[in-house]
């Protein structure tokens, strides 16, 4: 387990009316796997988690940070509570660095409620790493795939495209691959 770099922020007591609204809006199921985002595996995923106990009607803002060796937060998270009476919100606009995950947690239970929040982190940026210079064609490296999609033009001219990310120690290599009529071609940055 990686020890998180945590920064607690202000906590506020909610009014009884807001608590009643919170009961009506109690959050449903959390994302189940912090290492999967939109059906795609987070490459070389490492998790960071924290456990907090909130008192009755307590709201707390909290940020978790990915460590240096897996600096990028891809948006995958899970929240597991001891009671279903809660509200959990990700504050995407407050995530102002690539390694930050920001949440607001509200306990709407009459007593204490404990939550464990887990985020998925990667050494690979979620937006990939585009080449700043020429590319070169290589054989399929058979690394973990993401963003696989079928692309079609008029007249049923279709092909498959995807990205692959290979991680070897601290070296990360990104590939763009395509397959047309069972022939696979992959490209990576030259150099």
Can you read off the two tokens belonging to residue 171?
A: 């070296």
Residue 130 has pLDDT above 50, yes or no: yes
pTM here is 0.56
58-83 pLDDT tens trace: 999 999 999 888 888 988 999 999 99
Q: What is the 3-state secondary structure (H, E, C) of 8-65?
A: EEEEEECCHHHHHHHHHCCCCCCCCCCCEECCEECCCCEEEEEEEEECCCEEEEEEEE
Q: What is the mean pLDDT of residues 146-168?
A: 80
* Contact indicator for 184, 133 with CB cutoff of 8 Å: no
pLDDT band of 132, cuts 50, 70, 90: low
| 16 has a pLDDT exceeding 50 | no
pLDDT of 135-147, one tens digit each? 778 899 998 888 8
Cα angle value 131/135/136 (rounded, 5°): 145
């Amino acid at each position: 387990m990686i020890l998180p770099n945590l920064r607690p922020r202000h906590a506020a007591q909610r009014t009884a009316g807001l608590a009643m609204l919170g009961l009506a809006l109690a959050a449903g199921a959390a994302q189940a796997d912090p290492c999967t985002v939109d059906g795609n595996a987070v490459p070389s995923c490492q998790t960071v988690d924290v456990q907090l106990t909130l008192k009755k009607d307590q709201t707390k803002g909290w940020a978790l940070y990915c460590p240096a060796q897996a600096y990028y937060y891809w948006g995958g998270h899970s929240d597991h509570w001891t009671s279903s009476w809660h509200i959990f919100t990700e504050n995407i606009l407050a995530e102002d660095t690539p390694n930050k995950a920001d949440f607001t947690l509200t306990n709407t239970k009459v007593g204490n409620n404990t939550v464990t929040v887990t985020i998925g982190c990667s050494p690979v940026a979620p937006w990939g790493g585009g080449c700043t210079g020429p590319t070169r064609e290589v054989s399929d490296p058979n690394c973990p795939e993401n963003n696989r999609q079928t692309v079609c033009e008029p007249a049923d001219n279709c092909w498959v495209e995807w990205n692959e990310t290979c991680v070897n120690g601290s070296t990360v290599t990104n590939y763009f691959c395509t397959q047309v009529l069972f022939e696979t071609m992959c490209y990576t940055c030259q150099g």
